[in-house]
Amino acid sequence: MSPLAVASFLHEAAFRDAVAAARADGRRVVGCWSPYPVEGLPATDAPRGIVAAVVAAGLVMAAALFVLEGWSATRGYPFNEGARPLMSWQAFLIAPIEFGALSAALGGLVALIVRARLTRLNDPAFDLAELAGASRDRFVLALACADFEAAERTADALSRAGAETSRVAAR
C-alpha cells in the first residue's frame, strides 16, 4: 500500500497555497476536493484521449464498413447489372459516413465513461473521513508519498501550512 498525506483546510487561501507548494515540491496531487471551484488552482487534467477515441472509432468503423461493402460487391456476391463496374465507390460512401458518425458517438461515450472512471463501483478516496466535509465547508488535499516516513513529513508540512487536520492514510 502506498501512503497518502491527507489534510483538510478551513480557509481557501491556505488550501490554495498548500496545493501550489505541493506542486512546486514535485509532489503528486491525488485529489483536491472543495465545496466550490477555487480560483487559482491549476485545472485538472482535461479529458485527453476522448477526442482521439472519437476520431479513431469513427474512421476505423467507416473504413471497415466501406471495405465490407466493397468486398461484398466485388468478391462475395458480384452482381453485374447492365455492364456497370462492380466497385462503385461513390454509391458506397453514404452508409460508411453515417455509420462512422454513429461509431464516433458511441466511441466517445465509451471513452468518457472509462476516462471518468465510472466503471468503478467504489473509489478508495471515499474511505477518507475528511471527504465528509469537503462538500460543505472544508477543503481537502491528498498527496501521494513514496513511503510512510515521507508521508509523515508531508503531513507535518501541511499542518504548518495551515491545515486544520493532517494525517497519513494508507491507500
Give the C-alpha separation, 114 to 148, whole Å.
Answer: 31
Give the pLDDT score at 45.
46
Q: Could you report the per-residue pLDDT of 124-160, keeping only the tens digit for each?
A: 777 788 887 787 888 999 888 888 888 898 889 898 8
Architecture of domain 3-46+124-170: 2-Layer Sandwich (3.30)
Is 44's pLDDT higher than 60? no
- Residue whose C-alpha cell reads 499542518 in the numeric block: 159
Give the pLDDT score at 95.
95
C-beta of residue 108 within 8 angstroms of C-beta of residue 57: yes
pTM above 0.75?
Answer: no
What residue ranges of the chain are covered by domains with CATH 3.30.70.260?
3-46+124-170
Alpha carbon of residue 130 to chain centroid: 23
Burial 120-140 (b: 16+ CB within 10 A, else e): eeeeebeebebbebbeeebbb
Q: Could you report the per-residue pLDDT of 49-104, keeping only the tens digit for each?
A: 788 999 999 999 999 999 999 999 899 988 887 888 888 888 899 999 999 999 99
Is 105's pLDDT higher than 90? yes
**DSSP structural state of residue 94:** H
- Pull the grid cell for residue 75: 468478391
Determine if residue 15 is left, alpha or beta; phi over 0 gives left, psi from -120 to 50 gives alpha, anything else beta.
alpha
Contacts 24+ apart (CB under 8 A), 129-133: 130/6, 130/7, 130/8, 130/165, 131/33, 133/8
Instruction: Label the pairing between strands 3-9 and 165-170.
Output: antiparallel
Give the pLDDT score at 43.
56
C-beta of residue 61 within 8 angstroms of C-beta of residue 99: yes
